[in-house]
Structure 1
Amino acid sequence: MPLIRFALTLLVSLLPGLALAAAAPLQDASQLFHQGKNTQALEKVNGYLAGNAKDPQGRFLKGLILAEMNRAPEAIKTFTELTDDYPDLPEPYNNLAVLYAAQGQYEQAKNSLEKAIHTNPTYATAHENLGDIYAKMASQAYNKALQLDKSNTSAQMKLALVKDLFTPTGLEKAKPNKQPGKQHNPVKTAAVVLAKDRTPATEATPAVATKPASTEKIDSGTDQANTAVEKIIKDWAAAWSSRDVAAYLAFYAANFAPPQGMTRPAWEALRKQRLSAPEYIRVAVSDFKIQRNGNRASATFRERYESNILKVNTGKALTLELQDEVWKIVAEK
């Protein structure tokens, strides 16, 4: 699944006294950054900041460049100073959380995200990242419980469910797309620009159980195809919620690649266990972002999982392929 991610857009339009457009040197630096020319970008932004030391956009971009160059201590210092001078901006807090999480400092990451949400309760990226942090912290707690008591079956089941919902490779930042003008999914606008408003987070709508969508024929037109992909995912979540193993597995293509090198039979057996063990399961999906590329579609969305054993709110990514006019899941993260 896509995990904790950087804010690449600084929303400063609500701060009084700030300009309504980024200066040309910053635009040049941003373009160099997205081209992967980080050294030149840093030189450009440092030159700009020499005469505009307090400019939040320039400092924000500098923090992003330093993070991309793996100069985490300097990036942390840059974003921390930005939060000191502009405590009402949530994005620097969010990016501090990303940097802390990359170092395994999850408590500091959680605190930074809570500050981001306090400054702007509708900041969806921070809410999403906080869910990922909670999932990682839960995983650590269950591991510790098992170290103390290896026979703790409850902790074993909860840890297995967290690992199933959470990528095994740990927290990692979403890197900006190197091609100017193109967006790297699931990160929002990859530029240091001003925004006119802050978009409220969308509430998840629980999936309603229906007949398996894997039997439905769809039109390949972009809008209709995106609608069909979203419907497939909602029906997949509904099958999961109803713990209908056969219907759930029917959404996966024959060429689906199970994670961690598992065989298909072993993966199906594990999924059957995960669907059958809880007394109930509720899965809600929302906030879809779908990109088409020929007969393939990449979808990222929020996944809210709840059972009598575990409750997790995190990000999810599925790759689907159009096979015989039916969308099938071929990969998931």
Structure 2
Amino acid sequence: MRQTLSSIFVISQLSLALIAAPAFADEASDIGKLLRAGQTSEALQKVDQALTAKPKDAQLRFLKGLIMTEQNKGPEAIAIFSKLTDDYPELPEPYNNLAVLYAASGQYDKARASLEMAIRTNPTYGTAHENLGDVYAKLASQAYDKALQLDSGNATAKLKLTLVRNLVGTSGGVNPKTNPSPATIVAQEKPVKTTPTTPSKGESAAVPAPKTEIASTKNDASSSKTKSSPTSTQDRDDDEVIKTVENWAKAWSSKDTNGYLAHYAKDFQTPKGESRKAWAEERRNRIEGKGHINVKIEGIKVSIDDNSATVKFRQVYTSDQLTANSRKTLILTRQDGKWQIKQERAGS
């Protein structure tokens, strides 16, 4: 699905791939086909039936938001995407879609705030950057227009207003238009509310004993990690960083919350800007509420610059209700003789 501010404010497809249970993956695919074919009533009926069985499924909820948008039910779509940002604050796409809906109703300040959250969640999310530029242009248009109301002879403001209107158009809102391929949905586990989530974020019930699989261990990591120098000191630092990330994943998988939280620095930059204490309590409730968690790390790459390390890898997260495969980046700093996580974000 797409929507445009004048003609260029674009709502993106979700950029990550959600791997749900086959039955639900097929169901979501069928719903997507109905939506692409313009059969929104049938798509809505099917998604509601699926949500009865999986009310927390992020993929299905996102699809319902797209259907509501397509049916011009803005308030309902806003409610759906808003709840998704609450439940999955590290997913950038719901923020982006929410921004488009806000812009459609002329709420450009809210649109700006949502897009800034999308970019904060994933700084490499190009669509959100483009959309933010469009929102800024619209806000600029309003400001220049106000300046001319106060001083109609302001030639500079007139020129700027003309330039901005040529860029974003003169329409006051967002004109919806359909995209032939409605998003494949995303998911990755995030520090969110204490309520369980589904195939798009990991959460819930009790199952088998957890285990951690690390695809890139010290032996094979040497071929995939990037080293700034071949010295033994550098090798040792790289190994320490990899070991730290392995232990972080193991603590998460075994639901050793204290051990998991101990890997985060005191000045860890929390996803929503909340205090570290509030974030830690939320993570504790979220992790300990699961019956089974398994975190697998693949293709780990390490780059170290003095006391800062950037670690990139593919994270495969599995819990009772979710399997999510996504790229992840951790920024670690050396504090008190050990490596700790300073930043954590989705994407490369």
1:97 to 92, 96, 99: 99
2:133 to 121, 131, 134: 131
Q: 1:44 to 1:112 in 2, by over 3 A?
A: same
CA contact (8 A) 1:89 1:116 kept: yes
CA contact (8 A) 1:145 1:155 kept: yes
Query: Which string of whole-angstrom CA distances, capped at 9 and with x for unpartnered residues, describes residues 87-108 of structure 1?
Result: 0000000010000000000000
2:20 aligns with 19
Q: How does 1:253-292 map to 2 (within 5 A)?
A: none
Q: 1:104 to 1:24 in 2, by over 3 A?
A: same
SS at match of 1:77: helix
Query: Which string of whole-angstrom CA distances, capped at 9 and with x for unpartnered residues, describes residues 259-316 of structure 1?
Result: xxxxxxxxxxxxxxxxxxxxxxxxxxxxxxxxxxxxxxxxxxxxxxxxxxxxxxxxxx
Q: TM-score, normalised by structure 2?
A: 0.49
2:50 aligns with 48
2:182 to 176, 190, 193: 190
1:77 equivalent to 2:79? Answer: yes
CA distance in 2, matches of 1:9, 1:39: 22
CA distance in 2, matches of 1:194, 1:158: 40
Give % identity. 53
CA distance in 2, matches of 1:70, 1:156: 34
Structure 1 unmatched ranges of 5 or more: 178-182, 184-188, 197-333
CA distance in 2, matches of 1:195, 1:20: 13
Displacement after TM superposition at 1:195 (Å): 9.4
1:8 aligns with 13
Higher deviation after alignment, 105-114 or 151-160: 151-160
Partner amino acid, structure 1, of 2:20: A
Displacement after TM superposition at 1:167 (Å): 1.7
SS at match of 1:23: helix
CA distance in 1, matches of 2:166, 2:29: 41
Query: Which string of whole-angstrom CA distances, capped at 9 and with x for unpartnered residues, describes residues 76-122 of structure 1?
Result: 00001001100000000001000000000000000000000000000
Partner amino acid, structure 1, of 2:163: L
CA contact (8 A) 1:102 1:172 kept: yes
SS at match of 1:169: coil
CA distance in 1, matches of 2:151, 2:7: 32
Partner amino acid, structure 2, of 1:153: A
CA contact (8 A) 1:98 1:173 kept: no
Partner amino acid, structure 1, of 2:38: G
Displacement after TM superposition at 1:172 (Å): 2.2
CA radius of gyration, larger in: 2
2:321 aligns with none
Q: How does 1:189-208 map to 2 (within 5 A)?
A: 190-193=182-185
Q: How many residues align?
A: 182
Q: 1:33 to 1:71 in 2, by over 3 A?
A: same
Q: TM-score, normalised by structure 1?
A: 0.51
CA contact (8 A) 2:16 2:187 kept: yes
SS at match of 1:7: coil
1:58 aligns with 60
CA contact (8 A) 1:3 1:173 kept: no
CA distance in 2, matches of 1:170, 1:37: 29
CA distance in 2, matches of 1:125, 1:171: 18
SS at match of 1:46: helix
1:38 aligns with 40
CA distance in 1, matches of 2:11, 2:168: 18
CA contact (8 A) 1:3 1:174 kept: no
CA distance in 1, matches of 2:144, 2:186: 42
Displacement after TM superposition at 1:9 (Å): 2.7
1:151 to 144, 150, 153: 153
Q: CA RMSD in A?
A: 2.2
CA distance in 2, matches of 1:56, 1:10: 14
Displacement after TM superposition at 1:193 (Å): 4.5
